[in-house]
Structures are given as C-alpha cells and as structure tokens.
Amino acid sequence: MIPVSYALNKLLTAVARQHQMKEAFTEEEMAGHDLAPAERAALKAGDIGALYELGANPYLIRRVFRRRFTI
Amino acid sequence: MAEIVAAALAAHAPLITGRPEVSRPEQRDRLYAGFHELGRRLAAARPDLLVMFVNDHLQNFAYNNLPAFCVGLAETYEAPSPGGAALMRLTPRTLRGRPDWAMALLEAGLEAGVDFAYSYDIESWDEMSVPLSFLLPGGEVPVVTVYTNCAAPPLPAPRRCREVGAFVGDFIRARPRAERVALIATGGLSHWVGTPQTGCINPDWDHWVLDHVTRGDVEPLARLTWDEIERDGGNGGQEIRNWIGLLGALPGAKGEVLAYEPVAEWITGCATVWVQP
C-alpha cells in the first residue's frame, strides 16, 4: 500500500471540486489545513513527485496540477 | 424471466474523445471501430436496461466517505455534464436511471450480505460518458450503475469484485419479469495517472489480461493483488475490478477482443471486448 494523507487529499479534493488548477499553493491557500511541514513544502513547490510519495491521491494530483505534467 | 443479452468491456479515458487529434490515426481508427462494433452488437441485442460496472475518480466519493461498492439510485445521469462535456468534447446529455430496479438490487444485496452503499446523486465522468458516446449514441436505454472503488486505496479485493458481480448476475437471472439486460464494464487496461510513471503503458500485462478474458479464465484475474496490479498495470490498471465484476456475473463467458491499442497520447492501454453471454 502507498501512504495516504487525509490532509493532502482533503485540500486537493476541495480544489478539484471547484475545477481549479494550480501550479503551486500559497501559504494563504493552505491556511487552516492541518498539513505536515513536508506536505506544506511539497504543495508550495508544486512538487508532484513528492506529493505522491507523501500520500496524495494521484488522480487528484493529476487534476489539480495538470499543467505540471508533460504528457 | 430476465436475461443477460449482451456484455461488453471497454476502456474509458477522457482523451479518447477529448483529444482524438493527438493520437496516431491508425490506432484511433482501429479503436473507434472496436467501440462502434460494440455499439452495433449492443443495439442488435435490444436491451431494456444497461447495468454498468464503473468507478469513481473522486468526483463523488472523497476521503471522508469511500464506499467499496455503491449502487446508483439516481433518476438521471448527466453523461456528460456540461462541465465534463467540454473536457471530453461530447454533447451534454441526460440518461435515464432506473431507481426502481437499482433499489431492488440494493435491497437484495443487503438481504444477502452484499453490503452495498447507495447514492441518489451521482456525477458521472468519463467512466460512463466516453464509452456510452459510442455504445449508446441515442441514449435511449436506461442505466443502473454499480460503482466499485478502484481509485482510492485500499480497494476491495478483485476476488470480492468477482463475488459481487456474481451476485448481480444471479439477481438478474432471478428477476421474474421478462427483461433484456446488458452489462457494460469500463476502465483499464494498464495506465499510470498522476504518479511518477504517468504516461507509461504495459502492453505485455494488457495482453495477459486479455488472454484470460478471451479464454473465460477469470480466476487468475480474481487472484491478483493490489500490489501486483499497481506494479504491472499501474494505478489505472486497478480499474480491471470493473471487468472482473462483469465477468463474475457471467461465469464461463468468453471475451472477443475487438480492438486493443496502447495509445501513448491518451496514456492508456485501450481495449474493447465483446463478451458472449
């Protein structure tokens, strides 16, 4: 099993449901979310590989960070 | 008595209809031909109802509530919705549900120990819209959905998907009314979506799956583990649970592969398979 981060998936689900796409997250957009420091850093950097390793659902990564993918 | 008069397995991916121009024309033509042939055979079978084994992509079920199996009780399905239509380049349309039929399935399942969740409001994405744009171009046949969690691990075991499918098949065959039911499962084959391997396709695994489907040999598919599928078929390959569910409903039925194309530009190993019920 891959790790699952509820905090990451909760935030990404909320963004995905508003049909928003992001290159990266700002501190303001992450405010109020109970994210670990590594999760916060990965969102801020738009690091899709790190987000996957930290337990973000890849379908949500794909939807929110679509422009980060080369294919 | 009700009978299963048709069955089909087909890929779903938004780019199949959303970005046809990026694919190689010969691959696209062969795959589209497979979809259209499924549509012709389905129409010839004159179904009264489509029962669809499909999966959510987190548009309905989020991490605060994730059913392993969910029966759709919706009166109607937007397939696609106006928003999804732009992405998939399809005309928005509304398909009729059969909430009465779905409720009967749900109640029978709960009575028999198949603990389905249920939903009156399902937002369908490519899992319904893309294959049905070929298979049900007129949109005239009502649909019932059985959603299986294929996208948010931990997932139900493939062997359990087969058992749930077997229950659905038995339920249909035990219906006292004369009904002609078609089964459609969508998803797969190998694809990696949103992971570091995004864009990979594994045709060897896809052919392995299709060989078993062709022989009607579901057991090795039902024995697959999440790890094995993730390694060989990717996170998108987990959607073969829908196929295994359908095949569970038709014990011994053999598949006929009408098309298989590993379409790199659509990041998916795409197949269309007719299953003779």
Domain edges within chain B: 3-182
pLDDT score for A16: 94
Is B153's Cβ below 8 Å from some Cβ in A? Answer: yes
- A16: closest chain B residue by CA: B59
pLDDT along chain B (277 residues), means of 10: 96 96 98 98 98 97 97 97 91 97 98 98 95 97 98 98 98 96 98 98 98 98 98 98 98 98 98 97
Q: Looking at chain A, which residue has its C-alpha nearest residue B234?
A: A58
Mean pLDDT of A24-48: 97
In SS3 terms, chain B reads as CCEEEEEEEECCCHHHHHCHHHCCHHHHHHHHHHHHHHHHHHHHCCCCEEEEEECCCCCCCCCCCCCCEEEECCCEEECCCHHHHHHHCCCCCEEEECHHHHHHHHHHHHHHCCCCEEECCCCCCHHHHHHHHHHCCCCCCCEEEEEECCCCCCCCCHHHHHHHHHHHHHHHHCCCCCCEEEEEEECCCCCCCCCCCCCCCCHHHHHHHHHHHHHCCCHHHHCCCHHHHHHHHHHHHCCHHHHHHHHHHCCCCCEEEEEEEEEHHHCEEEEEEEECC
State residue B190's pLDDT score.
98
What b/e sequence results for A1-26 when a residue is b if at least 16 CB atoms lie within 10 Å of its CB, and e otherwise? ebeebebbbbbbbebbeeeeebeebe
**Nearest by CB: B199 against A13, A61, A71:** A71
**B162 interfacial to chain A (CB closer than 8 Å):** no
Does a structural domain hold residue A1?
Answer: no
Chain A hits for B267, Cβ within 8 Å: 71
Closest Cβ opposite residue A59 in set B151, B199, B230? B151
d(CA A13, CA B174): 40
Instruction: Please name the amino acid found at residue B53.
Output: F
Query: Which positions ≥6 away from B154 have C-beta within 8 Å?
Result: A1, B226
Q: Considering its fold, how many domains does chain A have in total?
A: 1
pTM for the whole structure: 0.98
Q: Does residue B117 belong to the interface with chain A, where contact is any CB pair within 8 Å?
A: no
Q: What is the pLDDT of residue A19?
A: 87
What is the structure's pLDDT at B1? 86
Task: Sort out which chain B residues have CB atoms less than 8 A from A9's CB and list them.
Answer: 62-63
Q: Report if residue A16 sits inside a domain.
A: yes
The CATH number of B3-182, from 3.30.420.40, 3.40.50.300, 3.40.120.10, 3.40.830.10, is 3.40.830.10
Min mean pLDDT across A1-5, A40-44, B43-47, B75-79 is at A1-5
To the nearest whole Å, the CA of B104 is away from the closest chain A CA by 31
CA-to-CA distance for B124 and B60, rounded, in angstroms?
8
Provide the residue range defining the domain that includes A34: 6-68
ipTM above 0.85, yes or no: yes
pLDDT band at A33 (very low <50, low <70, confident <90, very high): very high
Give Cα B195 distance to the centre of its chain: 22
Give me the total of CB pairs closer than 8 Å, taking one residue from chain A and one from chain B: 57
In a domain, A53, yes or no: yes
A13 touches chain B (CB under 8 A): yes
Average pLDDT, chain A: 96
- Spatial neighbors of B14 by CB under 8 A, at least 6 apart, are B84, B87, B88, B125, B126, B130
Nearest to A57 among B58, B192, B198 (CB): B58
CA B13 – CA B35 distance, rounded (Å)? 13
**What pLDDT was estimated at residue A55?**
98
Smallest CA–CA distance from A51 into chain B, residue: B195
Closest alpha carbon within chain A to B15: A71
For residue B168, the model assigns a pLDDT of 98
Q: Which H helix or E strand runs over A56?
A: none
**CB distance B195–A58 less than 8 Å?**
yes
Residue A1, pLDDT above cutoff 80? no
Has residue A51 got a pLDDT over 90?
yes
Distance in Å, alpha carbon of A28 to nearest chain B alpha carbon: 23
